[in-house]
Amino acid sequence: MIINPKIKEKIVLALDVNTIEEAKILINELKDYVGIFKVGLQFYTSNGNELFSFMKKLNLKYFLDVKLMDIPNTVAKAAENIINNGADFFNVHALGGSEMMKKCVESANLTAQNLGRPNPIVLAVTVLTSINNEKLNEELAINYDVNDYALKLAKLAKESGLTGVVASVFEVQIIKQACGKDFKVLCPGIRPQWAAQNDQKRLATPTLAIKQGADYIVIGRAVTEAKDKIGAMKKIYEEIEVCNEC
Ligand code: C5P
């Protein structure tokens, strides 16, 4: 199969494993098909730094999914370290506010420029999918509908200079309408029809995600837990390839 680079740059593989050995096996097996490897809090807090050096030696891109939120100065300094360590993508909570987001992007871009690298992709998390209307209204005392609130935070992220947001496939169009087509949307909750649903609820196929305008799709267990991982990845490429809008 010829790997379509336009599809490859959209594929974000979630490295949700426990050991460095497991992560290295996945990377070595799938690197030709993956645009960005996603390292979340679980892995980062165990063996993150060792894995970053490994990926940088192979010239691979990675997304540090650590959802920063603190005072602006602290987040700006953390962003500097994240870029110095080699990340190409990372994210923050939009709930940290506009000053935090602006300082974070300024610091990340300046650090990348000093290293002679392109500006990183800095994404905002709006409302966590674990928060529903009841929790937002009663526990957090935020009197908004959860979808309206997520959109409000996406607009704040855009105004604060972030590259885009993390959102469900079902929100991509409305976010693009409000924030412009260049505002990037990265979508988790992706499942081909032939893969197990696991614990995910509002799922979309890779093809639907791309049709809706997702810039990046997070592929996790559909591939990482498949018996034939390369076969599963190839099927995803083939399905996206036959979709006209892609
Ligand atoms: O294996 P699966 O495809 O479900 O993995 C999805 C990845 O996307 C995991 O790393 C998960 O933490 C992440 N994610 C998610 N839903 C969100 C935000 C992130 O599934 N709302």
CA of 115 to the centre of ligand 1 (A): 31
Tens-digit pLDDT profile for residues 116-134: 999 999 999 999 989 999 9
| SS3 annotation, the chain | CCCCHHHHCCEEEECCCCCHHHHHHHHHHHHHHCCEEEEEHHHHHHHHHHHHHHHHHCCCCEEEEEEECCCHHHHHHHHHHHHHHCCCEEEEEHHHCHHHHHHHHHHHHHHHHHCCCCCCEEEEECCCCCCCHHHHHHHCCCCCCHHHHHHHHHHHHHHCCCCEEECCHHHHHHHHHHHCCCCEEEECCECCCCCCCCCCCCCECHHHHHHHCCCEEEECHHHHCCCCHHHHHHHHHHHHHCCCCC
Question: What pLDDT does 246 receive?
Answer: 59
Nearest CA to ligand 1 atom 14: 188
Per-residue tokens: 77: 């300094």
67 in catalytic set: yes
Is the minimum distance from the CB of 171 to ligand 1 under 6 angstroms? no
Show the low-confidence residues of the chain (pLDDT under 70). 244-246
Question: What pLDDT does 201 receive?
Answer: 85
Look up tokens 């650590």; give the residue.
66
Question: What pLDDT does 244 receive?
Answer: 61
Tens-digit pLDDT profile for residues 56-70: 999 999 999 999 999
What pTM was computed for the model? 0.96
Question: What pLDDT does 243 receive?
Answer: 79
Nearest CA to ligand 1 atom 16: 188
Question: What pLDDT does 117 receive?
Answer: 97
Q: How far apart are CA 5 and CA 152, in angstroms?
A: 33
- Which position among 67, 158, 211, 229 bears the catalytic label? 67
Question: What pLDDT does 242 receive?
Answer: 87
